[in-house]
Amino acid sequence: MQKAITLGPLPAAERIVAMDVIRGFALLGIFLMNIEGMAGPLNASLTGLDPSLAGADRAVDALIYVLVQGKFYVLFSLLFGMGFAVMAARAEAAGRPFVRVYLRRTFALLAIGLAHMLLVWSGDILTVYALLALLLLAVFRAVPARQLPWLGLGLYVAPLCLVLGLGALGSLAQLEPGAAKEMQRALAQEAQAWQRTLDAQAAAYGHGTWLDATRQRAADMGQMFVYALTVFGWQVLGLFVLGSWFVRSGAIADPSAFPRLFARLRWVALPVGLLLVLAGFRLMPTMDPGRLDFGMGVATFAASTGALLMSLGYLAWIVRGLRHPRVAGALALLAPAGRMALTHYLLQSLIGTLVFYGYGLGAFGQLPRAWQPVFALAVFALQVLVSRWWLRRFRYGPMEWIWRGLTYGRLPALRAA
């Protein structure tokens, strides 16, 4: 008789430690990025440098834009692709069915993401991840490993080429008076709609009840889905694909076998990416919803391409640090938080909204920009301490435990042996 195959979550001993450390680092960056969209209107955090700021607030806003904004969602997305590939590879090696379990895992994540987006914070990324994870399954099975980097990069860059082309068309349209007038009218309407959204978010999140905020979150969800189906979603899918290559190639499990790759990411990708981000920042420090021209397209292309290169550089430097005992000891502090990334991601939103929103402590719009990263760092430091305490006693974070239960149809043992 054939032995029954038991499905279950991954034992802690089989985890790739580098992924947990990078995930913990990404979790910090995500909160440094997201805190602005909790302390004020969400959409105001998406436009780059706030032109109304001065002094320390302006300097901090610029630093966050250059070093953090857009870079850590890239890391988070790469890690999602890596996690998917690890799960697929180990299921195949053990002869376990994968697709059915993966679909349950994905739909469970979708439910968690939708609840988070509607009930807590509308800047949620989990919902988009869950929807795109279904496409990743098809791509992963159809594309040979050696082609994954090119496919991933193509998916990431293609929407940027579209933005570049639209910007060029916008510049050309301005050469013809009639077309220019019509375009300016349409762009002015876009700018007015954007301002109405900012005003609505400020009113609902800053001064409204939880029900008022929930209505606004529902409205924000529609905008997020439109954006996800145009530019953002294709880029995220490309990052998933690229992340899966790091696992299928063995690069993340055995970096010493890829010395040239990681050296190039550290010494070429990171500085070139930084230069591109600075160039994009110079061309367009603040996104103007009423602007459509070639300069806007070039700035967007440079900033987004630079973000990818910088993120890969960050990843490579962490991998390098893990090979040095002293540095590895410090980086290892991030691993427990990385193992509880879902719990802490949701907890960051809960803490941020309860502190800043009108139905919480009501500090909306009151924390200076220069102090927002300090707040985020303090919360994250507490999360690191809690993670170490928790994982000495339990095998999984609370939300990781629930997610695994929904995935495998039963709750795994929670207490550590």
Judge whether 414 lies within some domain: no
Q: Are 292 and 166 in contact (CB under 8 A)?
A: yes
Return the half-sphere exposure (C-beta side, CA atoms, 13 A cut-off) of residue 31: 29
Tell me how far apart the alpha carbons of residues 173 and 12 are, in angstroms, rounded to a whole number. 58
Range with the largest mean pLDDT of 5-19, 224-238, 332-346? 332-346
Average pLDDT, the chain: 93
Q: What average pLDDT does the segment 103-110 reach? A: 96
Judge whether 5 lies within some domain: no
Q: What average pLDDT does the segment 1-18 reach? A: 49
Per-residue confidence (pLDDT) for residue 96, from 0 to 100 = 82
Judge whether 37 lies within some domain: yes
Greater confidence (385 vs 145) lies with: 385
Q: If pLDDT is split at 50, 70 and 90, which confidence band does 417 have?
A: confident
Give the number of domains in the chain. 1
Judge whether 248 lies within some domain: yes
Q: What digits encode the pLDDT tens for the residues 135-180?
A: 998 888 788 989 999 999 999 999 999 999 999 999 999 999 998 8
Q: What average pLDDT does the segment 309-319 reach? A: 98
As a whole-number percent, the residues of the chain with pLDDT over 70 amount to 96
Judge whether 9 lies within some domain: no
Q: What digits encode the pLDDT tens for the residues 25-80?
A: 999 999 999 999 999 999 999 999 999 999 999 999 999 999 999 999 999 999 99
Q: Are 339 and 21 in contact (CB under 8 A)?
A: no
Alpha helix (H) ranges present in 265-397? 270-283, 294-321, 325-331, 335-339, 341-356, 372-393
Judge whether 10 lies within some domain: no
Judge whether 417 lies within some domain: no
Q: Are 354 and 397 in contact (CB under 8 A)?
A: no
pLDDT over 50 at 14, yes or no:
no
Q: What average pLDDT does the segment 395-399 reach? A: 97
pLDDT over 70 at 328, yes or no:
yes
Per-residue confidence (pLDDT) for residue 12, from 0 to 100 = 44
Q: Terminal CA-to-CA distance of the chain, rounded, Å? A: 32
Judge whether 12 lies within some domain: no
- In which domain, by residue range, is 92 found? 17-408
